[in-house]
């Protein structure tokens, strides 16, 4: 899982041979700024990735999520979306602290795109760090009046508990 995709031939398969991703699979919950965030983490094997001029297959964790406010109103729900534009999937394991790096493509017009880092604390807890990247939105890049709110918690060391 620590193999650099740039150094492998096109259509290589970066397989999770040691099942390093498996301990993260499950449903996790946390509360942040009055919102309840539920993560649904699953493993997708043989996922085709296309990065610039490189194509390869890899085993990856995929996160779908639901964010609810304190009244239970759903603010954002990706749980049942298929081929969602706001994908959240693992790209590699960061070797110096064993956290898993996820790429998040963002929501409407790519709002919130960036990286998320999950680290397994024990069998029932993971920590979350979200680093959204900046972008400038103009009416021609994002027509209409889409929701440009980032609902995922923009914080470091948020503790999620396995359900």
Contact criterion met (CB below 8 Å) for 58 and 35: no
Amino acid 122: pLDDT: 96
* Tens-digit pLDDT profile for residues 61-71: 999 999 999 99
Query: Please, which residues bridge with residue 131 across strands?
Result: 115
Amino acid 6: pLDDT: 74
- Residues (pLDDT < 50) of the chain are none
Amino acid 107: pLDDT: 82
Whether pTM exceeds 0.75: yes
Contact criterion met (CB below 8 Å) for 82 and 96: no
Q: 19: closest CA among 41, 4, 38, 1?
A: 1
For the chain, the residue count is 163
Q: Where are the domains of the chain?
A: 5-162
Task: Return the ∠ at Cα 17 (arms to 14 and 22), rounded to 5°.
Answer: 100
Rounded to whole angstroms, the Cα distance separating 145 from 160 reads: 33
Rounded to whole angstroms, the Cα distance separating 6 from 13 reads: 12
Amino acid 52: pLDDT: 81
Rounded to whole angstroms, the Cα distance separating 43 from 39 reads: 13
């Amino acid at each position: 899982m620590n193999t650099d995709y740039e150094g492998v031939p096109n259509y290589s398969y970066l397989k999770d041979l040691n099942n390093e991703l498996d301990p993260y699979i499950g449903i996790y919950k946390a509360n942040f700024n009055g919102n309840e965030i539920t993560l649904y983490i699953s493993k997708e094997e043989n996922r085709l990735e296309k990065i610039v001029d490189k194509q390869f297959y890899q085993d990856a964790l995929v996160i779908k999520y639901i964010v609810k406010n304190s009244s239970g109103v759903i603010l954002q729900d990706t749980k049942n979306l298929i081929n969602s534009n706001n994908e959240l999937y693992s790209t590699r394991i960061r070797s110096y602290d064993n956290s898993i790096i996820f790429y998040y493509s963002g929501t409407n017009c790519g709002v919130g795109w960036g990286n998320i880092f999950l680290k397994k604390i024990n069998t029932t807890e993971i920590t979350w760090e979200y680093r959204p990247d900046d972008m400038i939105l103009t009416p021609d890049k994002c027509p209409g009046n889409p929701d440009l709110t980032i609902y995922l918690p923009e914080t470091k060391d948020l503790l999620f508990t396995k359900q």
